[in-house]
Structure 1
Amino acid sequence: MTAQRVCALSELVQDEARRVEIDGVAMAVVLDSAGEVHAIGDTCTHGDISLSEGFIDGDTLECWAHGSAFSLRTGKPLNLPAYEPVPVFAVVIDGDDVLIDPDVKKPVG
C-alpha cells in the first residue's frame, strides 16, 4: 500500500490527538509542541481504549482511562499498567498534506 492522505497539516491542533483510520487501521495523529507530526496505533495495549482521547505531554500520549503514557517516537509504554508497545507509523508531510502508510511501521527502539 502507498501512503494515504489522512488530513491537512493545518487541521491539526498542537498537543491534541486526532483519530484517523486507513483500511481499518485506527491511528492517533499528533502535532507535538515542537511541531513534529506523529502517528501511533490508537488502541491502548492495556485496554480497548482510544488513545486519541488522551492527553499529550511533550512527546508522550497518555491514555485517559488508566494513565499509561506511550512514547510518540517509539510506541513504548513509559509506565504501567500498559507493558506492550503500540505501533508507530511513518509520517510524510507533503505541502499541507499529512500522509501515512499503515503498512510502514517505524521500528520500536
Structure 2
Amino acid sequence: MIRVCSLTDLDDRKPVAFEVGAEYTPVLLVRDGDVVHALRDLCSHAEVALSEGEVTRKGVECWLHGSCFDLRTGAPSSPPATEPVDVFAVELRGDDVFVDVATTTN
C-alpha cells in the first residue's frame, strides 16, 4: 500500500488523477462520502484519462466517447467500452488514503 493523498484532498464525487508508485501507475480516485474508489486512469476503449470525465449515477464517464465504468468493479456500464478498467484496493488510515497498485481486484 502506498500513501497517495489525504482524504481532505478529495472532493465528493469529483475524479482526481494521481501517478502512484515507482512505475507511476495512472490512478483515478473518487471519494463517495467516506468511501474512496481507485481505478486505473485509462479508458479501456479510447485509452484517454478517465479523470478528465465526470462521475454520474452509472460511474465515471469517459469524456471522449461517453463510456461509463462502475466505481466498485471497473466494469463498463455503457458503450462503447466493452472491457473493464483495473480497480485497486484502497485503505483509509485516519485521514490518509493508501492504494495498492500491485494487485487489481477485477
TM-score using structure 2 length: 0.92
- Seq. identity, %: 42
Tell me what 1:94 maps to. Answer: 93
Shift of 1:58: 3.7
Structure 1 CA distance for aligned equivalents of residues 88 and 81 of structure 2: 19
1:12 aligns with 2:10: yes
> Which residues of 2 match residues 25-40 of structure 1 at below 5 A?
25-32=25-32, 34-40=33-39
Tell me what 1:85 maps to. Answer: 84
Does the 8 Å contact 1:59/1:73 carry over to 2?
Answer: no
> Which residues of 2 match residues 46-65 of structure 1 at below 5 A?
46-58=45-57, 60-65=59-64
Structure 1 CA distance for aligned equivalents of residues 44 and 85 of structure 2: 7
Q: Number of paired residues?
A: 104
TM-score using structure 1 length: 0.90
1:21 aligns with 2:15: no
Structure 1 CA distance for aligned equivalents of residues 95 and 63 of structure 2: 29
Query: Counting strand residues as a fraction of each chain, which structure ranks higher?
Result: 2
Q: Which runs of 5+ in 2 are unaligned?
A: none
Q: Which runs of 5+ in 1 are unaligned?
A: none
Letter in 1 for 2:4: V
- RMSD in angstroms over aligned alpha carbons? 1.2
